[in-house]
Structure 1
């Protein structure tokens, strides 16, 4: 961000941390950026005397950003009820794979670790807004419950209980496969899809596999999850038949191996995978072009 409104008081160095917190809370790069910008605007809107009274501007900005995200999470539930089809978090590219990208892009600021893997973000979506804030701030970023209490306007003990409740939801999520295993599976899915080999695709998918697509009403996508290995394989091959000239690329998606489909250099689809016992168990397909903006500059 550099300086905001011409000010350079040291708070701008907090932006990377704030973007990381906000993305994990919201699952959206653009909304995370807006929340952080709003927090900085509030900081610079304070009288100079009030700013000087704040011992830790970084902690103040984190609290304000988290409160903004909490409000957004509450309103997001109503918005997503009106969303066309399934809503999925915004997929993140690994910027080290591209050249010429600007460091000011918020997607560049997000640390790609297990807490942004699509499987983890989808679990976060199942939490209440308060659970999500308490869990992300404490378990992911190690903020003490006393500070989280100021965000949620609850007691530290209540915040601890919220994080514990959220942790039980996460506890049902299996530990992700090793990156090398996942990369091999994704490569095999790509090869079978390109060969239009339905037998090979079915063999790579868990019998109870689920594919969820997000087109947002702006791109063609299944409105409901596609369940079962055979149905998913048939769906994938139908897409291949309807989309001549589509190019599949192996790419990092939220820090783990995934696939990107593009035509004439334009990214149309980003797919993330969950793998267990050498089979693909979940596929998350994002086709909403508004969620693919961070991918627009791929070479």
Structure 2
């Protein structure tokens, strides 16, 4: 068997997975086939001798192809004159019915309201468990941005769930109690709000400001960072989740994104990278 034949055999083994990824991203069986075929063309022209994980490599390639197709589709939608032609070229009732059954018509409708990067980040992470660093490489952003894009898409897909609203209210109460304890130097009160495994992390931009370490672990260490401080912080919804923000003349400069579990704070992520902040939806309370 020649090298190309061996490569083709490996590609065919991955084809069902690649087609499923493309279908979930694009919502079109017809376009998914085109994306997978383009991935094969790129594979056949590439040197993959040093590729350890060919499936992961192909997933990245087909995802990039899908991202380009989503962007092209979005651009065409801005020109109403092209819409009938697009529908005629891509419509396949039987294949699209299969796709609708697989994803559900409601999800397909909501996915179509997302931006290309939001849609790709959500599908890859929530449906295929692709890690955010790999998604970040595909969309040309940082892992934090990829995570926020997926979070934003998830919120839009979930809609307004009364149960989620109740959870959000409780999370806001926890953040407000944390802020009050921090400002008042109430170390014991801070400890009561923190999970035993809590982690405070900071991106490079936040560390460069000189007021934090890249990583602090455990309630005592995390509480010590905030105890008696935080006077300039404000509560805000960060992509719909309660957190804290330091702003200068109304412009967010540092974001503290909180994670919660069982009524306790399990993580705080300090973000100051301008690109990351630009990708966040921040609503001051």
TM-score range, shorter chain: 0.3 to 0.5
Larger proportion of helix: 2
Structure 2 length-normalised TM: 0.48
With a CA cutoff of 8 Å and minimum separation of 6, indicate the structure with the bigger relative contact order. 1
Structure (1 or 2) with the larger CA radius of gyration: 2
Structure 1 length-normalised TM: 0.46
